Amino acid sequence: MLSHKISRRGVALGIVAAGTFAASAAMAQKKYGSGATDTEIKLGNIMPYSGPASAYGIIGQVEAAYFKMINDQGGINGRKINFISYDDGYSPPKAVEQARKLVESDEVLFIFNPLGTPTNSATMKYMNAKKVPQLFVATGATKFSEDPKTNHWTMGWQPSYQTEGHIYAKYILTNHPNAKIGVLYQNDDYGKDVYKGLKDGLGDKAKTMIVADAPYEVSDPTIDSQILKLKASGVDLFMDITTPKFAAQAITKVAEIGWKPTHILNNVSASVGSVFKPAGLENGIGVLSTGYLKDPSDPKTKDDPTLKDFFAFLDKYMPDADRSNLNLAYGYGVTQTVVQVLKQCGDELTRENVMKQAANLKNFRSAVFLEGITANTTPNDYFVLEQLQMMKFTGQSWDFFGPILSSEAKS
Amino acid sequence: MAETTLAPTAGEAVATAEMPRSLRRGGRIALISGIVFLVVAISIPLFFRNFVVFQFTQMLVYAIAILGLNLLTGINGQFSLGHSAFYALGAYTAAILMDQYSVNYIWTLPAAGVVCFIAGFLFGLPALRLEGIYLALATFALAIATPQILKLSPLEHWTGGVQGIVIVKPDPPSWLPLNQDQWLYYFTLAVALILYILARNLVKSRTGRALMAIRDNPIAARSMGINLSLYKSLAFGTSALYTGIAGALGAIIVQFVAPDSFTLVLSIAFLVGLVVGGVGWLPGAIFGGAFVLFVPNIAEGVSKGLSGAVYGVILILLIYLMPTGAAGFVRAVLSRFKA
């Protein structure tokens, strides 16, 4: 059965290869790498459709639906997108297997938006050795974008955890210059990444302003003792770097002990449904956070004229999707960005040119980005989105306020 | 070979009375199938592209781990849901030795084996007091705890914490006209064959009979003078050794270890592979390895959204059609062949 499958695929590949050859002979000015022809661009993708992170699988579905719409409209520069998305179950060895399958067997032009920090860590070395773009990885870990020299073929997309930390520092320095900061953070790469951004952003003042910090392990049942410790240290600005379950606990506990610090919660846990509802909506009033995408379920966005296409897309191609899911906007925004890269590539669809154009985004905007946020890259700066806006929880939803904040300082 | 290990509990007197001809025949069939397997196995890298060779290498790695579990469950009758822990221990031993101490990858295998043997033996000592499902639960705890222990900050200097460890893929010896994937495949195949032959000899030996006697009737085994606790711990240690070597090989071919690679799902996959291959039948490990690696891919090919359900259906069908795994299927084919 297996060999049968392979032989059939082999035949198909042969035809594609022959087609490529004929096409490139006919038109010398067009340049194609593997996975690209006159009629088709093959993109790979790896998502956790099963396993512990399967909630993110919706992103892969949005991407597939968006490419279907692109194809219905005639493709990009006349080429249809063949979007091949595999499941890795959030398992690093499986991610390696699927990445190799996409590169060596399906021979895609590049892998787009593979999701997960451990899974992308596992494939990064392989992708760079093979010189295949690992483009717009779906993780906030700073390491995927911070070193374009060593990892030329890997690029992130969303604001990195350190960028986010920087922006909180910026906000604090402007609005609470005399704050006594207490930091609660998850003791892993993500928590430390945000914390590092905060400390770097505060600069020399970090030592004096941060009066206490309290790490917790993902395996801890509660974070009550950490909260009490921070309160006892005289903290008046609570920097809450936690994942949803712990964020809900923190909001509840802070309210329960009658503590009233300025409460900044990181973007990872800014979900109304999975954090604020379980914590008690009234307990969360006044909590601050940041965002960079418009929330399609927010009544205020309903009449936003720039989102008309987005809602039309959802109505036609994803009618059953739950509109309150922020990942819809995420998938839409990241796919629009990659479409922009492919448009910029023109007829030179090689892996080199894909990276060159990805590193040459100038003030690109997707409709789902907050007004004022743009995507910018250079060959030495792989951080695609580096701007966020502060927002405040009203008891029902988030209200954005203040200017768009950006982080210029890089670590 | 297949015959003798398939029916290990058959009374010896009965066996010797009618065995000679069928044994010789069974031996011949085993020999032929062994040679066919070797020829197919050796020729795989010649006909497939590197990615498929890599998949087959992974299959062999899973087969070694399942072989180890088979020694424990199939031969000695003890259950384990914790083999992902030994697999992780082997993988991390290899990765840390290569990453921090620049040890040659070949030497990480015996090191991983020794570390896991000791760990398995020590875990086996207290686990001796537990039988059947209680032992399964104790080992289950081991599988749950391992990824979290690997993330602990005091160990981070060695384990790399959540980030894991990236290791360099070993090059083939320069005198061999092979690429890295082909070389690793042959290397893994050689290790797998050596481990298989050792396991077969162990099962056929006095020790092997003692292990099986414990499985079949512990009280009788004890009254025959078999040191139950020693043999059960040894079985645990040996099983962990096999799985640890598989883990080390897995780390080398994937070039990466991280806590999320070694969850309970891996333990369950080994158990499924064991049952699919045939409990107590050593060559079944290769079928088990193939199932663990390829069936999820087939399931995903059928339906992305329902891959788990498709996997389940395939598994149920397989167990329905071959209740005793590949072992029973092979036995049925052979008996028809003889009649």
Q: Which residues on B lie below 8 Å from A92 (Cβ)?
A: 164, 254, 256-258, 260-261
In a domain, A302, yes or no: no
Residue/partner pairs of A64-71 with CB below 8 Å, 24 or more apart? A65/A313, A65/A317, A65/A318, A66/A313, A66/A317, A66/A331, A66/A332, A66/A335, A66/A336, A66/A339, A67/A43, A67/A335, A68/A317, A69/A313, A69/A316, A69/A317, A70/A339
Cβ within 8 Å, pair B265-A100: no
- A352 and A401: one domain? no
Contacts of A30 (CB under 8 A, 6+ apart): A23, A24, A38, A347, A348
The minimal CB distance from B50 to the residues A85, A89, A104 is found for A104
Query: Which of A193-207, B5-19, B164-178, B249-263 shows the lowest mean pLDDT across its residues?
Result: B5-19
A172-177, long-range: CB < 8 A, 24+ apart? A172/A202, A172/A209, A172/A237, A172/A264, A173/A201, A173/A202, A173/A205, A176/A237, A176/A262
- Which amino acid is present at A400? F
A50 and A127 housed in the same domain: yes
Asked if A188 lies within 8 A of B151 by C-beta distance, the reply is yes
Strand partners, A80: A40
CB contact under 8 A, A188 and B161: yes
- Interface list for A 182-211 with B (CB within 8 A): 187-190
Calculate how close chain B gets to A94, using CA atoms only, in Å.
9
Closest CA to A50 of A83, A84, A90, A85: A90
Report chain A residues whose CB lies below 8 A from the CB of B250: 93
The answer to whether A187 and A215 have CB atoms below 8 angstroms apart is: yes
Is a pLDDT exceeding 60 seen at residue B180?
A: yes
- Token pair recorded at residue A68: 């279907």
Interacting residues of B8 by C-beta distance below 8 A, sequence separation 6+: B75, B203, B212, B280
B154 and A CB contact within 8 Å: no
B166 touches chain A (CB under 8 A): yes
Backbone angles phi, psi at B23, to 5 degrees: -65, -45
Q: Is residue A144 part of a domain?
A: yes
Under 8 Å between Cβ of B250 and B55: no
Q: Quick check: B156 contacting A, CB < 8 Å? A: no
- Which of A91, A124, A189 faces B161 most closely, judged by CB atoms? A189
Residue B268 · residue B81 · CB < 8 Å: yes
Q: Do A100 and B54 touch (CB under 8 A)?
A: yes
**Do A174 and A244 lie in a common domain?**
yes
Interface test with A, best of B144, B149, B162, B171 (most A CBs within 10 A): B162
Residue-wise pLDDT tens digits, A186-195: 988 889 999 9
| Domain identity same for A177 and A268 | yes
Beta-carbon contacts of residue B190 (< 8 Å; ≥ 6 apart): none
Same domain, A44 and A7: yes
Q: What is the DSSP letter of B169?
A: P
Indicate if A151 and A273 belong to the same structural domain.
Answer: no
Note whether B101 and B302 are within 8 A (CB). no
Q: Which of A37-51, A296-310, B9-23, B238-252 has the lowest mean pLDDT?
A: B9-23
Mark whether A111 and A220 lie in a shared domain.
no
Domain boundaries, position A24: 2-159+308-380
* Mean pLDDT value across residues B253-260: 91
* Encoded tokens for B125: 């000592």
Instruction: Report the residue from A87, A97, A118 with minimal CB separation from B258.
Output: A118
For residue A301, tell me if it sits in a domain: no
Q: Please, which pLDDT band fits residue B17 given cuts at 50, 70 and 90?
A: very low
How many CB atoms lie under 10 A from the CB of residue B107? 12
Task: Enumerate residues 217 to 256 of chain A having a beta carbon within 8 A of any beta carbon in chain B.
Answer: 217-219
State the SS3 of B199-218.
HHHHHHCHHHHHHHHHHHCH
Residues of chain A with C-beta less than 8 angstroms from the C-beta of B55: 97
Q: Is B52 on the interface with A (CB under 8 A)?
A: yes
Contact B255/A at CB under 8 A: yes
Pairing status of strand B256-257 against strand B165-166: antiparallel
Bridge partners, residue A185, by sequence: A215, A241
Size of interface A-B (CB pairs under 8 A): 89
By Cβ distance, the residue of A49, A100, A105 closest to B307 is A49
DSSP character at residue A381: B
Structural domain includes residue A295: no
How high is the pLDDT of residue A1? 41
> B261 and A50 in contact by Cβ < 8 A?
no
Q: B-chain residues within 8 Å CB-CB of A6?
A: 48, 52
**CA–CA separation, B269 and B248 (whole Å):** 18
> What is the reported pLDDT for B20?
53
Token pair recorded at residue A169:
């520092």
What is the average pLDDT score of chain B? 88
Assess if residue A303 is contained within a domain: no
Of the CA atoms within 13 Å of residue B232, those in its CB half-sphere come to: 23
User: What is the chain B residue with the closest CA to A122?
Assistant: B256
Query: Does residue A300 belong to any structural domain of this protein?
Result: no
Q: Using 50, 70 and 90 to split pLDDT, how confident is the model at B337?
A: confident
pLDDT at B6 over 50: no
> How many Cβ atoms are within 10 Å of A115's Cβ, its own excluded?
22
Q: In this structure, what CATH number is given to the domain that contains residue A140? A: 3.40.50.2300
Q: Give the model's pLDDT for residue A15.
A: 53
**Among A104-118, B14-28, B55-69, B167-181, the least confident range:** B14-28
Q: B261 is written with which tokens?
A: 């690679």
Exposed, middle or buried by CB within 10 Å (0-12, 13-18, 19+), for B175? exposed
Q: Which residues of B touch A122 (CB under 8 A)?
A: 164, 254-256, 258, 261
Rounded Cα–Cα distance for residues B287 and B59 (Å): 9
Question: Could you tell me if A252 and A394 lie in one domain?
Answer: yes
Domain co-membership, A7 together with A152:
yes
- B81, B303 Cβ separation under 8 angstroms: no
ipTM of the complex as predicted = 0.79
Model pLDDT, residue A128: 95
Q: What tokens appear for B199 in the block? A: 């396991």
* Backbone angles phi and psi of A337, in degrees to 5: -65, -40
Name B150's bridge partners.
Answer: none
Q: Token pair of A285, please?
A: 């009033």
CATH number at residue B334: 1.10.3470
Quick: pLDDT tens for B136-154.
888 999 999 998 888 877 8
CA of B286 to nearest chain A CA: how many angstroms apart?
Answer: 16
Confidence band (pLDDT; 50, 70, 90) for B2?
A: very low
Residues of A with Cβ-Cβ distance to B49 under 8 angstroms: 104-105
Query: What is the rounded CA–CA span in Å between residue A261 and residue A232?
Result: 12
Helices and strands counted in chain B (H then E): 15, 2
Output the pLDDT for position B21: 57
Question: Beta strands A288-291 and A387-393: pairing type?
Answer: antiparallel
**Radius of gyration over every alpha carbon of chain B, rounded to an integer in angstroms:** 20
Closest residue in chain B to residue A107, using alpha carbons only: B51
| Best residue in A6, A9, A50, A187 for a mutation probing chain B (most B CBs within 10 Å) | A50
**In chain B, % of residues over pLDDT 90:** 60
Rounded to the nearest angstrom, the minimum Cα separation between A101 and chain B is 6
Torsion of CA A26, A32, A35, A38, to 10 degrees: -40
- Give me the domain span that covers residue B182: 2-338
pLDDT of residue A322: 85
Q: Are residues A150 and A44 in the same domain?
A: yes
3-class secondary-structure state, position A199: helix
User: How many other CB atoms sit within 10 Å of the CB of residue A221?
Assistant: 7
What backbone phi and psi angles, to 5 degrees, belong to B20?
-40, -55
> Chain B residues with CB inside 8 Å of A97's CB?
54-55, 58
Q: Are residues A146 and A20 in the same domain?
A: yes
Other Cβ atoms within 10 Å of A280 Cβ, number: 14
Q: How many CB atoms lie within 10 A of CB B239?
A: 29
Q: How close A318 gets to chain B, by Cα (Å)?
A: 15
Within 8 A by CB and 6+ apart from A167, the residues are A159, A201, A290, A388, A405, A406, A407
Query: A20 and A100: one domain?
Result: yes
Structural domain includes residue A368:
yes
pLDDT at B266 over 70: yes
CB contact under 8 A, A188 and B54: no
Taking the CB of residue B154, how many other CB atoms lie within 10 A of it? Answer: 7
Chain A residues in contact with B300 by the CB 8 A cut-off are 49, 86-87
Please judge whether A104 and B294 are an interchain contact, meaning their C-beta atoms are less than 8 angstroms apart.
no
Strands (E), A188-307: 210-216, 237-241, 262-265, 288-291
Give the pLDDT score at A282.
94
Give the ranges where B152-224 is alpha helix by DSSP (H).
156-159, 180-204, 206-216, 218-223
Domain tally for chain A? 2
Low-confidence ranges of chain A (pLDDT < 70): 1-28, 408-411
Q: Do B261 and A126 touch (CB under 8 A)?
A: no
Write down the residue that tokens 């032959």 correspond to: B197
- Give the Cα-Cα-Cα angle B273, B325, B64 (nearest 5 degrees): 35
Q: Tell me, what's the pLDDT at A389? A: 96
| Spatial contact of A386 and A148, defined as CB atoms under 8 Å apart | no
CA-nearest residue to B156 within chain A is: A188
Subunit contact A50:B308, Cβ cutoff 8 A: yes
Domain count of chain B? 1
> To the nearest 10°, the Cα dihedral for B24, B30, B36, B41?
-150
Taking residue A381's Cβ as centre, other Cβ atoms within 10 Å add up to: 14
Place of tokens 């941060």: A210
The count of other CB atoms within 10 Å of the CB of residue B320 is 8
pLDDT tens across B224-235, in order?
A: 999 988 999 999
A87-106 residues touching B, CB cutoff 8 A: 87, 89-93, 96-97, 100-101, 103-105
Sorted by sequence, the CB contacts under 8 Å of residue A218 that are 6+ apart come out as A186, A187, A188, A243, B148, B151
Minimal Cβ distance to A90: which of B50, B164, B260: B260
